[in-house]
Amino acid sequence: MEVIVQSDQQKASELAAALIAQQIGAKPKTVLGLATGRTMESVYDCLSKWFESKQLDFAEVSTFNLDEYIGLAGDDVNSYRHYMNEKLFSRINIDPKNTHLPNGMAEDIDQECEHYEQLIDDINGLDLQLLGIGRSGHIGFNEPLSALRSRTRAKGLTPQTLEQNAELFPGGIEEVPKRAITMGVGTILDSKRCILLATGQEKASIIAKAVEGPVTSMISATALQLHPRCTVIVDEEAASDLEQLDYYRWIFANEPEWEPFR
């Protein structure tokens, strides 16, 4: 794992977007794992702008999102399919048939989860998985006690997550579905590379636990310590509870790989 601290939210988002752009430049047929939520909005803004300025081409890219609420159809404004269409897919030249999210309206949810895993398998896995982190420490919707080897499945959401996500529902917490389909921790760990982006003071304490705490299924993001190539990008606020901050800064300052991004 490596931790990169950027001065503010905008710079942190730009770096995450730049790593995605670099991945697509190196492999046009890239398979991206994507996340939703507030943190990702500026990443998708950057990618859309770079597409408009012809620096980026999504024609051959495929995407798989981490999760979707159970019981919301794709055209529901609160669904993650709707979020992705609005914030990214409709703004770039990706082929809609190459964009995948679990179907939260599937009649047989278990079968839908198996099918989703199969699709990821058939395409040879995820080249780069983008992640946010919830206040509960979840990645995707892998809430506390998610098995570290779990695969795509249905998961109940914690009261903390319902509260966090209620901010995005006009009708408040009562409207937030209580269950979602999510890639498992094991599915995420199988990605070839992953990037966890966290910004803002409210993420400081959970980021410190995820990066410096012991690996535990109580905080799914700690499993990323087991990932062979995981980059954690934080702004100063989200980094503020990290004990080894000077060490991370030193590594970044002395790592040739990061030269183009300074």
What is the x/- site pattern for ligand F6R, positions 150-179, by CB under 6 A?
------------------------------
What is the x/- site pattern for ligand F6R, positions 202-241, by CB under 6 A?
----------------------------------------
In degrees and rounded to multiples of 5, residue 60 shows phi and psi of -110, 5
137 touching ligand F6R, by CB under 6 A: no
**The one among 23, 39, 146, 152 contacting ligand F6R by CB under 6 A:** 39
**The one among 17, 31, 35, 162 contacting ligand F6R by CB under 6 A:** 35
13 touching ligand F6R, by CB under 6 A: no
In degrees and rounded to multiples of 5, residue 78 shows phi and psi of -90, -5
CB of 201 to ligand F6R, least distance (A): 12
CB closer to ligand F6R, 62 vs 142? 142
Cβ neighbourhood burial of 159 (10 Å; 0-12, 13-18, 19+)? exposed
CB of 38 to ligand F6R, least distance (A): 4
Angle between helices 9-26 and 38-52 (to 10 degrees): 50
Give the helix ranges, DSSP H, for the chain: 9-26, 38-52, 80-87, 109-122, 159-166, 185-189, 204-212, 236-239, 245-253
Q: Assess contact for 65 and 100: CB atoms under 8 A.
A: yes
Rounded CA gap, 135 and 206, in Å?
6
CB of 167 to ligand F6R, least distance (A): 8
Closest-by-Cβ residue to ligand F6R is 132
Positions in the binding site for ligand F6R (CB under 6 A): 35-39, 66-67, 132-134, 138-140
